[in-house]
Every structure is written in C-alpha cells, then in structure tokens.
Structure 1
Amino acid sequence: MFKSIVFLLRIAIAWLLAIILAAAVWAELPLIGRIEWPIVIAGMLTMALVVAGALSHIGRVRLIAGRLDKGALDNRQRRQIEIPLEAGEAFDLLDAAIRELPRIGDVESARDSLQIRAKVARPNNYGERPLGRWNPLVWFGVPRNQILATVTPGADSSSVLLICEPESPAWSDWFLVDDGSNLENADAVSRAISRRVGQRRSTEKAAAVQTSAEKELTVARLSLLHAQVEPHFLYNTLASAQLLTRGDPARADEMLGHLIQYLRHSLPRDGQDMSSLGIELERALAYLEILKIRMGPRLAVQVDVPGALRATALPPMMLQTLVENAIKHGLEPRTGGGTVWIRARRAEDAVTITVADDGVGINSQNSGTGIGLANVRERLRLLYGEAASLSVVANFPSGVAATLTLPDVAGAGRGREADRDVQHV
C-alpha cells in the first residue's frame, strides 16, 4: 500500500507543478490572464484525470503481478533470464518468443551482435481514455512500447537481458503510466522462454527414451541372432559328417567335435552381454576347421593373436560375422579358394582386430548386401559411440581386409587366458 501511495503522490505532484507553471504562464498573458476560472477548471480536471489514470494503473498492475512494489509499478521493466543453451540456440529461441507477442511489429534481429529490437502496440484494455486525445495522460507519450533483448554467451548457458519500456523519453514516466503493459510484455516473454525450454527438454527426453528403446530392441535382436545357428551351415555340416562316416569315420568324428565346440560357444550366456577375443576366436576357429574339412586344400587359415590380447572385451558374434563374410563373399566364389587371416594388435589405447582374405574382392558381384557389416557398425555405435570403428578396404593383391578398432578399456596387457601367442593352421 505504501508503494502505491508513493507512486500516486509522485505523479500527482509532478502534474501539480506542471499546472502551477501553466497557471503562472497564463497569468502573464495579456487580457485573458486576468480571467482565472479557465485555468482553475482545467487544472482541476487535469488532476482528476491524472489521479484516476494512476489508480487504474495501480489496479491493473496488482491484477497482473499480484503485488505492488516499485519494480512492478514502473513503466520500464528489466529481466535477467538464464537459458541453458548455447548463444545461437538461445538467440533463436528468444527471437521466436518475441515474434509471437500480440501486436508485435518492426522486429529487428541482429544475429551477429545477438540483439533483438521490436515495437509493440499497446492494447486498449478499457476502451479509449476519457476525453480522448485531450486526456493529459496521452499528451507526451506514443501509444507503443518497445523491447530490447540482448543475449550474452556463457560457458554452458546463455544470459538474456530483456528490457521492456515505453516508446517515450524517461522523463515522461513522471507524468504518464503504461497501464502495466510493459510488465505484461516482460512476463509474457519470460513465460514463452520457459515454455520453449521446457518443450525442448521434453523433446530431448523423449528422444533419449526412444534411443534407449531402440538400443534395447537392437540388443534383443542381436541376442536372438546370437542364439541362432545358421540353418544352412548346420545342415551342410551334419550332411558332410554323415557322408564321412561311411568312408572316413575319423574325419567325421573330427568334424562333429568342431561342430560341438562351435555350438558350445554359440549358446547365449545369461547375464553376459560381452564376450572376449579369446572366446570369439575359439568359435571362429571351430567354424573354420569345419569348413577346412568340407573345402579341403581350398581353404587355409592363419591366426596371429597375441595371448595378452585374448582377454580383450568383444561383442559376441562380431568376429564370427567378419569371418563368415570372408568365406561366403571372398573365398567360396573363388575356384581355387584361398586364405583367411585373423590378426590382432594393440595400438596406443586401442586394440585392432583384422580379418582378411585373398578372395574375389570387394567389387565383385558376390560381395553381398552389406547387412552384416552394417549390423557390426550399429553395434559398435551403440556400445562404444565414436570410440570404436569398422573399416573395410581392399586387400593386396586381392580380397578384402576388415578391421575392428576397439578401446582397450580392460587393459588387455593383463591377459586372463593362457592361449598360444600364434596359431598357424
């Protein structure tokens, strides 16, 4: 109440001094200066309109802000708003919030300087003022407000300085009121910014949930893939073993032994999302041993994997996918067969695993659809982000070399398996 009384007295005293000055000038006028009643009536009418306008301003500010203090009653409003976005994004958000204000016009956006200027027409909340243009509360002012917004970049966020004021000099605040329109504009822009930041966070949260769901779906699909053995491979292996039992039981027994080893490593392990290079290598070698019996001298295998790297964490079936690609799209289409190389090395804080062949090459008609390699890349992205990669290049003098690069998070130098350093099969 005290603040509203001070505000009312300030405007009343300012206008009273102006009326006294006008009366003094009137008194000095020749002839009509002796007639006092016109200036007295004009002064009383002016004071009545001023007090009524000031009371209307106080009532509307209380209605908008729910409080009465100097900050709320002022014609010029200042806000400091923190936005958790980088400067460019904060500027775009602020620009959109200002442009959606009612009665907005003449918006000037300067992206380089991160400044926005705009004009806002004042609403006629209660219709035209009494006496229209003869009302003293509109004599010195323009019925428009203006907005100046500046974005200041920060480390992780941006700060917005928002100024809403009448389109008239500061001295006019002693005589004029804005009916709370600048308070309304400042609050509207603040609310719009909060709404847009909240909407952005909701969108990001929804995207994160969707990404998580997609990841879980991908992992579920991969687990199902892991639990499945290729029917054609199983059928061909059993058919070959059955045929060998008639003429070469020893080789048939050897093939079934490798098949058992392959199937043992292909069964899913509960609670274990990751395998190791050693375990995946045993699976791949069991697979290659079966194919060696079927393909005979057409297939040669060379493995160069240090024992210290056998403990390197590796997603299940990833090495197997590269080995199967080398066989199906590299060596099987080639009449004379060829060689598959499996090699692993440590490079600084990463481990590289290469599967190469000297088959028909990457540009042949038998190079496949690339679905297997695409799945490998997607799994690497989901598990390691940008820290892992798969590169596929042409091998010299023929064939393809596929290289996995994985972060050495487990410190593979402290190997947990006592496997042989080098195998030559």
Structure 2
Amino acid sequence: MIKSLFFVLRLAIAWALVVGLAVAIWDELPLLGRVEWPIAIAAMLTMALVVTGAISHLGRVRLIAGGIDSAALSNRQRRHIEIPLEAGEAFDLLDAAIRELPRIEQVESARDSLQIRAKVRRPDLYGELPLGRWNPLAWFGERRNQILATVTPGRDTGSVTLLCEPENPTWSDLLLVDNATNYENAEAITRAVSRRIAAHRRGEKAEAAQTATEKELTVAKLSLLHAQVEPHFLYNTLASAQLLTRSDPERADAMLGHLIQYLRRSLPRTDDEQSTLGAELERAIAYLEILKIRMGARLKVEVDVPEALRATPLPPMMLQTLVENAIKHGLEPRTAGGTVWIRARRDGDCVAVTVADDGDGFNAKTTGTGIGLKNVRERLRLVHGSNAALAVVANFPAGVAATITVPAPAGMHDAAPATAEDSAHE
C-alpha cells in the first residue's frame, strides 16, 4: 500500500510541477493571463487523468505480477536468462522467441554480434485514451516499446541479457506509465525461451532413447547370433566326426577339438563388451579348420594378421560373418573349391581387416539375402559412427574381397601399411 501511494504521489508531484510551469506561462500571456478559469480547468483535468492513469497502471501491475514492488512498477524491465546451449543455438532460440511476440515490428538480428533489436507496438488495453491525443499521458512519446537482447557466450552455454523499455527517453518515466506492457513483454519472452529449452531437451531425450533402442535391438540380434550356431554346420560337423571315428580317429579328434574351440569363442558376451581381432581370428580359424577336414583339398586357408594388430578392438561375430559368406557364397558351390585369405593391415589411424576368396564372386545364383552384411554395417555405425566402414568389392581374378575398417587403438605400434595388392589375390 505504501509503495502504491508513493508511486502515485511521485507521478502527481512531477505533473504538478509541469502544470505549475504551464500556469506561470499562462499568467504572463497578454490578455489571456487575465482569464484564469480555462487554465484552472485544464490543470484540474490533467491532474485527474494523471492520477487515474497511475491507479490503472498499479492495478494492471498487480494483476500481471501478482503483487506490487519497485521492479514490477518500473517502465524498464531487465532479465538475465541462462540458456544451456552453445551461444549460436541460444541466439537462434532467443530470436525465434522474440519474433513470436504479438505486435512485433522491425526485428533486427545480428548473429555475429549476438544482438537482437525489435520494436513492439503497445496494445490498446482499455480502448482509446480519454481525450485521445489531448490526454497528458500521451504527450511525451510514441506508443511503442523496444527490446534489446544480447547473448554472451560461455562454456557450452549462452547468457542472455534482455532489456524491455518504452521507446521514449528515460526522463519520461517521471511523467508516463506503460501499463505494465514491458513487464508483460519480458515475462512472455522468458516463458517462450523456457518452453523452447524444454522442447529441445525433450527432443534430445527422444533421440537418445531412439538410439538406445536401436543399439539394444542390434545387440539383441547379435546375442541371438552368438547363441545360435547354425544347425546344419553342427549336424554336419558331428556327423563327420562320428564317421571319422571309425576310419580315422585322429582326424575325428582334431575336428572335435576345433569344434570345442569354435563353440567356446561363440559364447555370448555382455551387451557392450568388445571383442578383439585376435579372439575373432581364433574363432574363424577353428571354423575353417573344421571345414578343411570336411572339404579336404578343396579348401585352402591363408592367414596374414600381424601380432601387433591382434589387440585391435572388433565387435563380435563380424569377422565370422565375412568368413561364412566367403565359404557359403564363394567356395562351397564350386566343385574345385578355392582359397580364403584373412589379412590385416595398419592404414594410418585405422586397421583394415580383409576376408577374400577366389570363388564364384557376385553370382546371382549364390547371392544371399545380405542380412549378415547389413548387420555388420549397422554394428559398425553404432559402435564407431563414421570412423568405421565395410567395403565389399570384386576380387581379382575371381571371387569377392570384404574389408572392415576400424579405428586403431591408441598406443598401438605401427604395422606395415596396406597396399593396393593386399585386396587382390591370385
């Protein structure tokens, strides 16, 4: 109550001085100065309009702010807003929030200096002012407000300084009120920024949830691959071992030893556990040794993987998928069989692992569904992003060469760089 009374008295005293000056000037005018009633009526009417205008301002401030204090009563509002985004993103968010204000005009955005200036036309809250242009509260300025917003860059944040004020000089605040329109503008921009930050966070959470779901789905598929050893391979291997126990017990024992090694390396891992090139190579070699016993001279295997590269992290089952593709789609359909090469080379900051064969190559009769290679690409994308890749090309003079490229682990000693000949096999 005291603040409200003080505010009305301050405004009335300022206008009383203006009215007193006007009366003094009127008294000095020739002839007109003798007629006192016009200036007396004008003075009383002016003071009445000023007091009613001040009371109206108080009422609207109390309605919008929920209370009255010196900050809310001021025609000029200042806000400090912390936006948890990089300065450029914070600027874009603030610019969009200001542009959506009603009655916004002349928005000037300077992205390099991170400043925004704008004009806002005041609403006619209670219709036209009494007496229109003759109302004293409309004598000293335009019926517009202005906005100045500046973004100060921080460490992954943008600090916003927001100023909302009348489009009039500061001295006019002694005589005029803005009916809380600048307080309303400042609060509206603050709410809009908060809403957009919340929407941005919801989008980030949704994107993270989607990525996590995709990763879980891929891991589930991989776990299924770990647990699911191909039935035909198992049946054929066990049948071959049973047959060999009668004719060649030594080879039967070797086949079962390789099968045990293969199954040991095929046990499921934890969701995020990476395997290594060395571990995956042991699984692949066990698989190929079993096939060499079954296929005999039809299958040859050449492995060239430097010891220094065997610690390279590699998602499980990837090398196995490429080896199985080389056998199923390249060599098994051929009566003469062929050779499978497994090579690894250091190439700058990456390690390239190639599985090649000299089989049927890109033959429509032997081409599979491509699900295995698609799974390999998806796993590489989820684990390494754009830093890993799978390339499948024709081998020379026959067959297919598939190369997985993954980042080399930090601290690994350089190995021989890959050459153009590494992907071509006679």
What's the TM-score once normalised by structure 1's chain length?
0.83
Structure 1 residues 303, 170: CA separation in 2 closer, same or farther (over 3 Å shift)? same
Does the aligned pair in 2 maintain the 1:54–1:177 contact within 8 Å?
yes
Does the aligned pair in 2 maintain the 1:388–1:407 contact within 8 Å?
no
Query: C-alpha separation between the residues in 2 aligned to 1:266 and 1:412?
Result: 29
Query: C-alpha separation between the residues in 2 aligned to 1:317 and 1:301?
Result: 19
Does the aligned pair in 2 maintain the 1:276–1:315 contact within 8 Å?
yes
Structure 1 residues 167, 308: CA separation in 2 closer, same or farther (over 3 Å shift)? closer
Query: C-alpha separation between the residues in 2 aligned to 1:108 and 1:365?
Result: 65
Deviates more, 1:50-59 or 1:397-406: 397-406
Kindly state the Cα deviation for residue 128 of structure 1 after the two structures are TM-superposed.
3.9
Query: C-alpha separation between the residues in 2 aligned to 1:88 and 1:363?
Result: 53
Query: C-alpha separation between the residues in 2 aligned to 1:112 and 1:363?
Result: 57
Query: 1:417 aligns to what?
Result: none
Please give the per-residue CA displacement for 1:191-218, whole angstroms capped at 9, x wherever unaligned.
1101111221122123212322322222
Does the aligned pair in 1 maintain the 2:322–2:402 contact within 8 Å?
no
Query: C-alpha separation between the residues in 2 aligned to 1:270 and 1:156?
Result: 34
Kindly state the Cα deviation for residue 401 of structure 1 after the two structures are TM-superposed.
4.0
Please give the per-residue CA displacement for 1:208-233, whole angstroms capped at 9, x wherever unaligned.
12322322222122111110012333
Structure 1 residues 48, 99: CA separation in 2 closer, same or farther (over 3 Å shift)? same
Q: Does 1:166 align with 2:179?
A: no
1:65-144 matched pairs, under 5 angstroms: 65-111=65-111, 113-144=113-144
Query: C-alpha separation between the residues in 2 aligned to 1:130 and 1:357?
Result: 94
Q: Percent identity?
A: 73
Query: 1:408 aligns to what?
Result: 409
Query: C-alpha separation between the residues in 1 aligned to 2:107 and 2:256?
Result: 79
Kindly state the Cα deviation for residue 6 of structure 1 after the two structures are TM-superposed.
4.8
What is the identity, as a one-letter code, of the residue corresponding to 2:401? V
Query: C-alpha separation between the residues in 2 aligned to 1:133 and 1:294?
Result: 104
Deviates more, 1:54-63 or 1:357-366: 357-366
Query: C-alpha separation between the residues in 2 aligned to 1:97 and 1:308?
Result: 56
Query: 2:26 aligns to what?
Result: 26
Kindly state the Cα deviation for residue 365 of structure 1 after the two structures are TM-superposed.
6.7
Aligned alpha-carbon RMSD (Å): 3.3
SS of structure 2 residue aligned to 1:341 = strand
The runs of 5 or more residues in structure 2 that have no matched partner are 415-426
What is the identity, as a one-letter code, of the residue corresponding to 2:378? E
1:181-330 matched pairs, under 5 angstroms: 181-238=181-238, 240-241=240-241, 251-252=251-252, 254-268=254-268, 273-307=273-307, 309-330=309-330
SS of structure 1 residue aligned to 2:214 = helix
What is the identity, as a one-letter code, of the residue corresponding to 1:330? G
1:299-378 matched pairs, under 5 angstroms: 299-307=299-307, 309-334=309-334, 336-345=336-345, 351-361=351-361, 366=366, 368-378=368-378
Please give the per-residue CA displacement for 1:53-110, whole angstroms capped at 9, x wherever unaligned.
1232233223333454443222122223222223332232122212322333444445
Structure 1 residues 334, 126: CA separation in 2 closer, same or farther (over 3 Å shift)? same
Does the aligned pair in 2 maintain the 1:330–1:400 contact within 8 Å?
no
Query: 2:56 aligns to what?
Result: 56
SS of structure 2 residue aligned to 1:145 = strand
Deviates more, 1:345-354 or 1:317-326: 345-354
Structure 1 residues 210, 351: CA separation in 2 closer, same or farther (over 3 Å shift)? same
Query: C-alpha separation between the residues in 2 aligned to 1:308 and 1:148?
Result: 61
Deviates more, 1:171-180 or 1:71-80: 71-80
Query: C-alpha separation between the residues in 2 aligned to 1:165 and 1:79?
Result: 12
Does the aligned pair in 2 maintain the 1:226–1:317 contact within 8 Å?
yes
Query: C-alpha separation between the residues in 2 aligned to 1:363 and 1:146?
Result: 72
Does the aligned pair in 1 maintain the 2:87–2:156 contact within 8 Å?
no
Query: C-alpha separation between the residues in 2 aligned to 1:228 and 1:284?
Result: 16
Query: C-alpha separation between the residues in 2 aligned to 1:327 and 1:406?
Result: 27
Does the aligned pair in 2 maintain the 1:357–1:401 contact within 8 Å?
no
What is the identity, as a one-letter code, of the residue corresponding to 1:402? T
Query: C-alpha separation between the residues in 2 aligned to 1:301 and 1:63?
Result: 85
What is the identity, as a one-letter code, of the residue corresponding to 2:40? V
What is the identity, as a one-letter code, of the residue corresponding to 2:197? V
Query: C-alpha separation between the residues in 1 aligned to 2:396 and 2:57?
Result: 85
Does the aligned pair in 2 maintain the 1:390–1:405 contact within 8 Å?
no
Does the aligned pair in 2 maintain the 1:312–1:410 contact within 8 Å?
no
Does the aligned pair in 1 maintain the 2:314–2:406 contact within 8 Å?
no
Kindly state the Cα deviation for residue 291 of structure 1 after the two structures are TM-superposed.
1.9
Does the aligned pair in 1 maintain the 2:82–2:158 contact within 8 Å?
yes
What's the TM-score once normalised by structure 2's chain length?
0.83
Does the aligned pair in 2 maintain the 1:60–1:179 contact within 8 Å?
yes
Query: C-alpha separation between the residues in 1 aligned to 2:24 and 2:375?
Result: 92
What is the identity, as a one-letter code, of the residue corresponding to 1:51? V
SS of structure 1 residue aligned to 2:102 = coil
The runs of 5 or more residues in structure 1 that have no matched partner are 414-425
Query: 1:416 aligns to what?
Result: none
Please give the per-residue CA displacement for 1:270-314, whole angstroms capped at 9, x wherever unaligned.
789344434322221121122223333232111233445545544
Structure 1 residues 269, 77: CA separation in 2 closer, same or farther (over 3 Å shift)? closer
Aligned pair count reads 413
What is the identity, as a one-letter code, of the residue corresponding to 1:329? H
Query: C-alpha separation between the residues in 1 aligned to 2:393 and 2:152?
Result: 48
Query: 2:419 aligns to what?
Result: none
Please give the per-residue CA displacement for 1:341-389, whole angstroms capped at 9, x wherever unaligned.
2234556776543323333446877454443223223223333445544
What is the identity, as a one-letter code, of the residue corresponding to 1:40? A
Query: C-alpha separation between the residues in 2 aligned to 1:272 and 1:178?
Result: 61
Does the aligned pair in 2 maintain the 1:387–1:407 contact within 8 Å?
no
Query: C-alpha separation between the residues in 2 aligned to 1:200 and 1:52?
Result: 45
